[in-house]
Amino acid sequence: MKTYRAREIIKKAYGTSKNMMTPHVLKYGKINKDMAYELSYGRGFSRARMYGVSVAKMVKGGKAIRSYEDSESFSSKAKAMNHIDYLKSKYN
């Protein structure tokens, strides 16, 4: 199977649509060779800053799917980064 870059995996699964709550992308990264995340931020309903971690994984046939069970929102960047570290340890 071809190895895809993080941004490619996310774009294959989510397309060009932006997350309504966290539309500003900070970075893309890999969880493992077949999984990627997007770290983004925005403002919640209370106008407080929030961070989102969206996760996608490659499956057979060069298709990427969204990993809803691993994607979450957080009240701080540190909590979002801790979640990413947790996912890396879980899937490696």
- pLDDT tens-digit profile, the chain (92 residues): 688 999 999 999 999 888 889 999 999 999 999 999 999 999 988 899 999 999 999 999 899 999 999 999 999 999 999 999 999 999 99
Model pTM score: 0.94
- What CATH class is the domain 6-91? alpha beta
Q: Distances from the Cα of 37 to the Cαs of 54, 75, 87, in angstroms?
A: 5, 17, 10
Map out the domains of the chain as residue ranges. 6-91
C-alpha distances in angstroms, 91 versus 1, 13, 19, 48, 84? 18, 19, 24, 31, 11
The per-residue pLDDT for 1 is: 63
Structure tokens at 76: 């701080």
pLDDT of residue 36: 98
